[in-house]
Amino acid sequence: MRRTGFDQIIITGKCDALIYLLITDHGPQFVDCPDCAGMTVLETTRAIRSAHRDWNLQVAAIGPAGEHCVLFSSIVSSGNRVCGRTGMGAVMGSKNLKAIAVTGTRSVEVAEPLAFLALTEEVRNAIAGHPEYETRYALGTTQLMSGLHRLGILPTRHFQHGVCDYLDQISGEQLAKTYKVKNKACFNCNVHCSRYYVCGDVEAEGPEFETLCSFTSRIGSDDLKFALEMNYTLNQLGMDSLSTAEVIGWLMECQQRGLVRPEELDGVTLDWGDIETVRRLVDMIAHRQGIGARLADGATKFSQSFGEEAQALVMQVKGLDIICGDPRGIKAYGLTYAVASRGADHLRAEPYFELTEQTEVAEQRFGTAKAADRLAEEGKAALVTYSEKIALLTDCLTMCKNIGLCMDILNFELVAELLTAGTGMQYTATSIERAMAEATELDYELNRRFGVVPEDDTLPDRFQNEPLAEGPTKGATVDIQKMVDEYNALHRRR
């Protein structure tokens, strides 16, 4: 997009009929696309590229789910890179905006090219020399299936368990052995952590850990092929895999406990691992058909038709469904879910550092070695406060969090040098850190204006009061209020 001469796109208003927005060197243009109605993401991408005879056109599109304003619909870039959380696809759908297509040929000015090049080379070398490089290359985020199982925190049967009996059938290693055919990379990345697979009729990129776990252990399924099918289906329908799995997993647990009867669900019975019913429900949700019309509003809203016990079983914070990481065994993640402005996911802070066991760095950076102990609550407020600034920085630089944050490649000093060389404006580590901190506070203040209250900074009751029953995290719960209080004190809030 930068090559078109534009830095940002702000879309206001709504169109009467379905359109896509085309941005080129000549500026923006709205193009009618009635034929794209009901198309999947890939069909839309191909139709737009074909209309302009340009196979390099970059297209961010919504699928049928976005058109039907499913509240957890996504926006998918060039067929398989997904902006999945918080229902941004529904925002595009509500505006009758099917896609944004971009192509540009202008050059991008760099203030000090040689200095900039040297710094980017430094970054590339730091990535290639990283101790986790090989594993990330081979398995990408799917390494977390075995990793979290080993720690006893792999969401299984909707967070009722943290270990999974049939892990070997659904692990990242198993996927790499059976269906992966090659590595793929996002634009300009030298990690190549994405994978391409062929499985029956399905050929696609991915899945990432969250989708793999969501459609295996989280819903009690041992069927790896089904998870690969769902990865493709959800990306083409344009629907967030985590929130889809939450509404389904929640219903499974509610039926297990007799809290939602089949007659309250248009006769649908949903057992653990019942992939036929899951397949049918996913399609009904995307098209808002039958009971799917209500499930399309997400687990939090749908649960309000049932009793308090059922509502408490929705694994969400501020209405956003929780990711596949049980906070009872990764306490900084728990704090992140609780305090993040948009709710229960990792992308506002991603405190992966607590899994690295780098106690010396922890001591230096956060004042206590406990910050690198996943089961400790001490030091996590400082870790999350630091991580949220780096997470925001990766977003501002449009860099991947796997690299910037999880591989610990970015820091304020490096970014100050990069931005100074790139723009010719003077940045310092302090000015950047201050800007990140101020933006985080602004985010918090906006939430307060939108009606979010301090009591919303919490976790579902299960994580606070139900200890895990087995595995390496057996007996653990989260004292979330203690960590939130510490975090607020650091941020001088309340």
Question: By the criterion CB under 6 A, which residues form the site for ligand SF4?
Answer: 185-186, 189, 191-194, 400, 402-403
Which structure tokens are listed for 379?
A: 């030091």
Q: Residue 189 CB, nearest distance to ligand SF4 (Å)?
A: 3
Main-chain dihedrals φ then ψ at residue 347, nearest 5 degrees:
-80, -10
> Which residues 6+ apart lie within 8 Å of 165 measured at CB?
none
Between 80 and 311, whose beta carbon lies closer to ligand SF4? Answer: 80
Between 191 and 237, whose beta carbon lies closer to ligand SF4? Answer: 191
Q: Residue 188 CB, nearest distance to ligand SF4 (Å)?
A: 8
Between 298 and 404, whose beta carbon lies closer to ligand SF4? Answer: 404
Q: Residue 232 CB, nearest distance to ligand SF4 (Å)?
A: 18
Between 398 and 465, whose beta carbon lies closer to ligand SF4? Answer: 398
Between 142 and 473, whose beta carbon lies closer to ligand SF4? Answer: 142
Between 136 and 370, whose beta carbon lies closer to ligand SF4? Answer: 136
Pairwise CA distance, residues 47 & 59, whole Å: 10
Measure CA 485 to chain center: 26
List, as one string, the DSSP characters of 72-87: TB-EEETTTEEE-GGG
Between 189 and 429, whose beta carbon lies closer to ligand SF4? Answer: 189
Q: Residue 187 CB, nearest distance to ligand SF4 (Å)?
A: 8
Q: Residue 208 CB, nearest distance to ligand SF4 (Å)?
A: 8
List, as one string, the DSSP characters of 437-492: HHHHHHHHHHHHHTT--GGGS---HHHHH----SSTTTT----HHHHHHHHHHHTT
Pairwise CA distance, residues 363 & 366, whole Å: 6
Between 193 and 278, whose beta carbon lies closer to ligand SF4? Answer: 193
Q: Residue 193 CB, nearest distance to ligand SF4 (Å)?
A: 3
Between 376 and 399, whose beta carbon lies closer to ligand SF4? Answer: 399
Pairwise CA distance, residues 99 & 68, whole Å: 15
Q: Which of 6, 61, 9, 14 is nearest to 39 (CA)?
A: 61
Between 142 and 156, whose beta carbon lies closer to ligand SF4? Answer: 142
Q: Residue 109 CB, nearest distance to ligand SF4 (Å)?
A: 24
Judge whether 348 and 323 are in contact, CB under 8 Å.
no
Q: Which residues pair with 198 in a beta bridge?
A: 203
Q: Residue 72 CB, nearest distance to ligand SF4 (Å)?
A: 21
CA angle (42, 169, 181) in 5-degree steps? 45
Q: Residue 75 CB, nearest distance to ligand SF4 (Å)?
A: 17
Q: Residue 182 CB, nearest distance to ligand SF4 (Å)?
A: 13
Q: Residue 355 CB, nearest distance to ligand SF4 (Å)?
A: 17
* Torsion sign, CA atoms 292, 298, 299, 303: negative
Judge whether 36 and 22 are in contact, CB under 8 Å.
no
Q: Name the DSSP class of 436.
A: H
Which structure tokens are listed for 371?
A: 């910050």
Q: Name the DSSP class of 156.
A: B
Q: Residue 354 CB, nearest distance to ligand SF4 (Å)?
A: 20
Judge whether 247 and 298 are in contact, CB under 8 Å.
yes
Between 394 and 458, whose beta carbon lies closer to ligand SF4? Answer: 394
Q: Name the DSSP class of 279.
A: H
Pairwise CA distance, residues 88 & 69, whole Å: 9
List, as one string, the DSSP characters of 292-330: HHHHTT-HHHHHTTS-HHHHHTS-EETTEEP-S--TTS-
Q: Which of 164, 134, 135, 133 is nearest to 150 (CA)?
A: 164
Q: How many residues does the chain have?
A: 494
Q: For residue 59, give the 3-state DSSP assignment.
A: strand
Tell me the one-letter amino acid at 165. Answer: D
Judge whether 336 and 458 are in contact, CB under 8 Å.
no
Between 248 and 403, whose beta carbon lies closer to ligand SF4? Answer: 403
Judge whether 452 and 145 are in contact, CB under 8 Å.
no
Q: Residue 428 CB, nearest distance to ligand SF4 (Å)?
A: 27
Between 191 and 282, whose beta carbon lies closer to ligand SF4? Answer: 191
